[in-house]
Structure 1
Amino acid sequence: MKNIYAIGVGLIGGSLAIDIKKNDPSVVIHGVSRKESTLDEALRLKLIDKKAALDDIEHADLVIISIPVDATVKLLPTVLDKIPDTALVVDAGSTKVDICRAVENHPKRRNFLAMHPIAGTEHSGPSAAMEGLFVGKTNIVCEVEKTTFKLQEKALKLFTDIGMRIRYMNPEAHDKHIAYVSHLSHISSFMLGKTVIEKEKNERDIFDMAGSGFASTVRLAKSSPEMWTPIFRQNKMNVIETLDEYISNLSHFKEMMEEDDFEGVFNEMKNTNHIKDILNGIH
């Protein structure tokens, strides 16, 4: 895979480009973006070797799509139309059902691998890209059986070579589970930030009193609304279900406080401490 085209050269696309290039310096990374300024920045940061246009992917060995999920749904069929028969297309979207559905009957469906690298930060754009972002991280691959075997092999080698673990899942299960462990945590962070901003009009007080607990909890509120709004739209029903459960737990906690049931409050927190054992087992 010598000619790689990155459609989207922000945090995920740019970081993939860095690690792929480091692993195989002979590859040529071509950047594709709606904004010329984004490509200029990606060139300056050495994330890409060359600028490219969408039509240039007729020369691609690999196309990596790392753009908002609503844009991916619209663009993916066109990308498959334009690539050569031997090329592989992968996407890095945080939702998978709508993306897979958009190309389920495409003549080149076998050239597409649906994936979601579970990695990232709250930052966005080319300047957010970093080396080693994916080391030890999980890459969820959906509908692997619909991708031709030779291209599967190439893709899985490429991503394991940069340190990723591969996990297989169907798109529906992916979208349901990710609503709990990713989408809900982003909403919680945004709404915590909103609550504090609205309550504390004097921003100096917020920053003077904000400890590491607040900073780490609200960190995700710095994430890009342009990226996250389409994710919530595509995964609407799963996100609403998780919110119903989360709101129910918050209401129950509030009721215990109102009733001075601090034994119940203690037990809720004590039982939830078990999450550290679960997370230690994962990491």
Structure 2
Amino acid sequence: MSVKNIYVIGVGLIGGSIARDVKNLNPNISLFGVDSNPTHLKEALELKVIDFKATLKDVANADFVILAVPVDVSVKLLPEVLDLVSDDALVMDVGSTKSDICKVVENHAKRRNFLATHPIAGTEFSGPKAALLGLFKNKTNIICEIEKTAFKLQEKALTIFQIMGMRIRYMNPEAHDKHIAYVSHLSHISAFMLGKTVIDKENNERDIFDMAGSGFASTVRLAKSSPAMWTPIFKQNKENVIETLEEYISNLTHFKEKIQKEDFETVFKEMENTNRIKDILNGIE
């Protein structure tokens, strides 16, 4: 691989996990970390997620820049990063929304140096301590507007993704944001609101958590996710998120009405029909 210096802006779960994979596959690469949180930089160094601390201006020396910060920060930071990097450098973001990030640099002089990606992997944890080796193996990486990235830089990125064991899918930014609202953003909202409902109820019924089993724990797992990361995602993808919420609320209302009417035959059939989700999701870890 022709990449020698990789700069990771945001040394948390995603940025740190990419760093761990790349370093594991090529120990000769130098990994530099840039982060607004000094504690995260210190932890990333101690955990050997990165080799060196750096500042934003240092990306002028980068062969490859990974932008792994909240999506609202990415939109502000990406043009500045492109201003700083060399003509041969690749800049990649990993955000969960793609329309705004692509629009903000559509007329940038170095648009050819940017690749919009979304590796669909993660956990409910954040920070350098959450970074995992092998997080992306057999996971899908959605790439948007690849035709706008210089061909030699496309090749560089695809080589890295390949050795990380990722599957590649190509989409336009609008389609990505619409579909991801259903399979990711709605899941997080559901977890947050289920957790809120139980916490509100727990104020009056202290025994509720004593009765919470593994089903509850797995369902609200995503409610542990960082609000600082997810609030900007919901804001950027507002229209699609609202559409998915309206459909979800409609289904919940319908389900409640069937129970109220004691139409348990329909309740059974709807749950039985939904069981086929296990076949659709077969193979997903």
Short-chain TM bin: over 0.9
SS of the residue 1:37 aligns to: helix
Identity of aligned residues (%): 72
**One-letter code aligned to 2:211:** M
Aligned to 1:243: 245
State which drifts further: 194-203 or 165-174: 194-203
The Cα of 1:205 is off from its aligned counterpart by 2.4
Q: Return the offset for 1:210.
A: 1.1
Q: Which runs of 4+ in 1 moved over 2 A?
A: 202-207
Q: Does the CA-based 8 Å contact 2:5-2:30 persist in structure 1?
A: yes
2: CA distance between counterparts of 1:115 and 1:94?
A: 9
Q: How does 1:6-45 map to 2 (within 5 A)?
A: 6-45=8-47
Partner in structure 1 of residue 96 of structure 2: 94
Whether the 8 Å contact between 1:197 and 1:203 is mirrored in structure 2 is: no
TM-score (norm 1): 0.98
Amino acid in the other structure paired with 1:253: F
Residue by residue over 1:112-133, the C-alpha shift from the partner in whole angstroms, topping out at 9 and shown as x without a partner, is 0000000000000111001110
Return the TM-score normalized by structure 2.
Answer: 0.98
Q: Distance in 1 between matches of 2:209 and 2:234?
A: 29
TM-superposed deviation, 1:203 = 7.8
| 1:202 shift after superposition | 6.2
Match for residue 131 of structure 1?
Answer: 133
SS in 2 for 1:6: strand
For 2:40 and 2:127, how far apart are their aligned partners in 1?
8
Measured after TM superposition, the shift of residue 38 of structure 1 is 1.2
Task: Confirm or deny: 8 A CA contact 2:202 2:209 kept in the other structure.
Answer: no
Q: CA deviation at 1:206?
A: 3.4
Structure 1 unaligned regions, length at least 5: none
SS of equivalent to 2:170: strand
Flag the 1:202–1:128 CA change in 2: closer, same or farther, 3 A. farther
2:11 and 2:278 map into 1 onto residues whose CA distance is 34
SS in 1 for 2:20: helix
Tell me which residue corresponds to 1:169.
171
Deviations 1:139-175 (A, max 9, x none): 0000000000000001011011011111100000000
What is the aligned-residue RMSD (CA, Å)? 1.1
Tell me the distance in 2 between the aligned counterparts of 1:48 and 1:191: 36
Tell me the equivalent position of 2:211. 209
What letter corresponds to residue 136 of structure 2 in structure 1?
F
AA aligned to 2:5 is N
Number of residue pairs the alignment of both structures matches: 283
Structure 2 CA distance for aligned equivalents of residues 35 and 217 of structure 1: 30
Displacement of 1:282 after TM fit? 5.7
Cα distance in 1 for partners of 2:21, 2:77 equals 25
CA distance in 2, matches of 1:64, 1:114: 11
Matches of 1:214 and 1:16 in 2, distance apart?
31
Change (3 A) 1:190 1:14: same
Is the 2:57–2:84 contact (alpha carbons within 8 Å) kept by the matching residues of 1?
yes
Name the CA distance, whole Å, in 2 between partners of 1:38 and 1:197: 30
Q: Within 5 Å, which residues of 2 pair with 1:84-233?
A: 84-201=86-203, 205-233=207-235
Structure 2 unaligned residues grouped into runs of 5+: none
Residues 124, 224 of structure 2: 8 Å contact kept: yes
